[in-house]
Structure 1
């Protein structure tokens, strides 16, 4: 038994959403782990970094293998890695277990991100050959960001109102991930497995030389964009509790949810605009939002901090979608998974490097000052990358 390609598209989309939600469900729980074990704030960034390192390692080593092993098989293995991570969260919640679970979670997410994005594009193309390919890119990007949004919200709700707040979220997602694995096993394959397996090599950017400047311009923008998401999936609850004096676990989840939802909704609202105009709006929103985040932390002001995060998140959504659509458009079908893996590898470097630096900054400086420096640096990077991206998309 196999699903039709149209049904398979939505099964992969659901599995993608669930996996991305699982990757952010610990966000409002970090403060609980910290209170229970008494570790410093910097260790939260290390635990988060273990996830991002796992993503980057898998993107570099395995993000492209679905091009010759097949999308379904690789997607299934990625979701099963998430199942293993959920089990570790439940059975070993000490810091070493958290580090291991987050790393394995990152490995699965890295493999699935490139694989599912390519698989969705191909399933949609077969099911609806007359449809513009940008529609699939939009749905894929919204699923990605929407999943990242729902994870903290679900984690915050279960932690605030449920029993066993450090176990229940993982139990819920363990069931959802197992159901996702069953669904993926029934989805049609869109890539013919190579009879002669090529010699293994790590990730590279398989593009013509004249296409690489456009690819790297988009990747730099994605790096800066993901730095903002990294802040809200790792340290936002710490800032809310420490700097802004709001310790509610539900609030921590809601704030992160709002930032990611803004990223998903902005893509739908501005979908009819050219890519160049979307980039301009996105870069302006990211710049304005970063200013709001920094000032909200300095005053301090919860409404300004949250509003800044939401506006920045809306900008991130537009820039991220443009980057994914550009990379997918540059690649030929035989290397699409590889090119997308390269894009996400650079983006996830933005998720880990700035967050580690701000975590180190909090250990040495007042949190408000560290947040200000972070916002200023990302603001500069966003605008430097933005000029290159807009110029590269003059035909958008």
Structure 2
């Protein structure tokens, strides 16, 4: 990475890490919250909550492709804050609709932030440095996905990592949601 853009890289990496941390935390924790806290047992809806999070990011990038990078970053961060509030309110009120709205807004915000950060970072970089700089940006983003999720796993009390009362994974990898005991089609309905 060229020395001239290192300070810009760190500012952008500090922005993209929490944006992707929200994506990682939502995708790892939301299915359990949706099922246990909100009482939604339709696995298609549970999966859709994560799907719309990422699709909203894609839509944001397609719709707002020509916006200035700084604008995309600032509005993306604002939307991520609004998303966190909506997700928290959705869990407190046990409202799937509010939680889903938070996921859509969060995905939109993360998409904008990602697009703006990558554009700002790559703008003005010589082509021989672009691949390394882009790779470093993706390392920062993917660290945001992985590190918080791994920390949650490491800090979880013993016996809460998918093992059943017998100490094995007998109920299946999807938890105790009757997936192993039902045909696949019935589990989605």
* TM-score, scaled to structure 1: 0.38
1:276 aligns to 2:70 (yes or no): yes
Distance 1:320 1:279, change over 3 A: same
2:121 to 310, 315, 327: 327
Distance 1:344 1:285, change over 3 A: same
Q: Please give the per-residue CA displacement for 1:15-67, whole angstroms capped at 9, x wherever unaligned.
A: xxxxxxxxxxxxxxxxxxxxxxxxxxxxxxxxxxxxxxxxxxxxxxxxxxxxx
2:106 to 299, 308, 312: 312
Secondary structure of 1:231's partner? helix
**Which stretches of structure 1, 4 residues or more, deviate above 6 A after TM superposition?**
none
Deviates more, 1:323-332 or 1:233-242: 323-332
1:295 aligns to 2:84 (yes or no): no
Q: Please give the per-residue CA displacement for 1:96-136, whole angstroms capped at 9, x wherever unaligned.
A: xxxxxxxxxxxxxxxxxxxxxxxxxxxxxxxxxxxxxxxxx
Q: Is the 8 A contact 1:278 1:318 kept in 2?
A: yes
Q: Is the 8 A contact 1:279 1:319 kept in 2?
A: yes
What is the RMSD of the two structures over their aligned residues, measured on CA atoms?
A: 1.9
Q: CA deviation at 1:359?
A: 4.2
Q: In structure 1, what is the equivalent of residue 55 of structure 2?
A: 261
In the comparison of the two structures, how many residue pairs are matched? 158
| Uncovered stretches (5+) of structure 2, i.e. residues with no partner | 159-189
Q: In structure 1, what is the equivalent of residue 2 of structure 2?
A: 207
Secondary structure of 1:235's partner? helix
Q: In structure 2, what is the equivalent of residue 234 of structure 1?
A: 28
Q: In structure 2, what is the equivalent of residue 251 of structure 1?
A: 45
Q: In structure 2, what is the equivalent of residue 160 of structure 1?
A: none
Q: CA deviation at 1:233?
A: 2.7
Q: Is the 8 A contact 2:84 2:102 kept in 1?
A: yes
1:348 aligns to 2:149 (yes or no): no
Q: How does 1:1-396 map to 2 (within 5 A)?
A: 206-208=1-3, 210-359=4-153, 363=157
Q: Please give the per-residue CA displacement for 1:140-185, whole angstroms capped at 9, x wherever unaligned.
A: xxxxxxxxxxxxxxxxxxxxxxxxxxxxxxxxxxxxxxxxxxxxxx
Q: CA deviation at 1:276?
A: 2.0
